[in-house]
Amino acid sequence: MQDKYKFKQNWGNAEQQAWQHLKTVLTTPPVFLNFPDGASPYILSTDASKIGIGAALKQRTSAGLKPIVYISRTLMGAEKNYSTFERECLAIVWSVLKLKQHLADQEFTIETDHRLLANIHQKTTTNNRVNRWNIALQGYNIVKITHKPGTCNCDADLT
C-alpha cells in the first residue's frame, strides 16, 4: 500500500509520546466509562448543534460524577431545518429512547443548555412534533429537566 500511494511514515519520539498520552487519557477517569451502579441516580446531559445531537449519561456517586455512556449522531434530512428549540428537544427524546435499557424504571434528571426546555415534559405546546415527543417521554421517570449553561455542558459536547 505504501508503494501505491508513495506514503512515508515516520514514527519518532514525539509520535510515541503522543500515543502514550492518548492511551493514558482514554483509560483514566473521567473519560473512561464505568459500569452502572443500581443505587446511584442517573443524570443525562444533552446538547444539539446545527449538524448533530449528543448526550452523556452519568451517575452521581460518593466519588463524584461517573460517565456511563456517550452517544451522538448527525442530523438527518428535515431535522437540519428544525429550530434550535426543536433540535434541543430532539436531543433529549432521542437520547432517552436510545438509552432506554439504562433509564427504564429509573428516576433520572436531564441537563440541557437550552433554558426553555426546563419542564417541557410537563407542558403542552402548540408544536405538534414536540407534543408527540412529550408522549414518547411519558413512560419514563424524569425527575426534572434542569438548565445547565452551555459553558458547563461540556460532557454532552464530547459525544
Q: What pLDDT, in 10s, does the model give residues 1-35? A: 455 666 677 889 999 999 999 888 877 776 677 88
DSSP state of 32: S
Q: Would you mind telling me the total number of residues written for the chain in this entry? A: 159
DSSP state of 116: G
Instruction: State the fold for domain 33-157.
Output: Nucleotidyltransferase; domain 5 (3.30.420)
Residue 153 phi, psi (nearest 5): -95, 45
Residue range 123-147: mean pLDDT, rounded: 85
Kindly list the domain boundaries of the chain, sorted by start residue. Answer: 33-157
- 15, 21 in Cβ contact below 8 A? no
Run of H or E residues at 38: none
The average confidence (pLDDT) of the chain is 84
Q: Where are the beta strands (DSSP E) in 8-106?
A: 42-48, 52-61, 64-74
pLDDT at residue number 30: 67
Alpha-carbon span 144 to 120, nearest angstrom: 9
Q: What pLDDT, in 10s, does the model give residues 35-75? A: 888 888 999 999 999 999 999 999 988 888 888 999 999 99
